[in-house]
Amino acid sequence: MRRADRLFQIVQHLRGGRLVTAQKLGTWLEVSERTIYRDIADLQSTGVPIDGEA
């Protein structure tokens, strides 16, 4: 999966209002938990509002 597609999937999943862990997102998207944390940091730096705890 391309990175842009993965970022889109993360945003769509989080907008569903469900609580989810980085580990579960990583398993679902077949990437590491660290990659999820990097992707979320990149989304936040571009202005995408993401609430959560690290």
Residue 18 is predicted with a pLDDT of 79
- Closest of 8, 14, 6 to residue 50, by C-alpha: 14
Rounded to two decimals, what is the model's pTM? 0.86
Contact 36, 25 (CB under 8 A): yes
Report pLDDT for 54: 57
Query: Maximum CA pair distance of the chain?
Result: 26
Q: Are 23 and 31 in contact (CB under 8 A)?
A: no
Give domain limits for the chain: 3-45
pLDDT digits (tens, 9 = 90+) for 1-54: 899 999 999 999 988 887 899 999 999 999 999 999 999 999 999 999 887 765
What burial class does residue 9 get, using C-beta atoms within 10 Å of its C-beta: 0-12 exposed, 13-18 middle, 19+ buried? middle
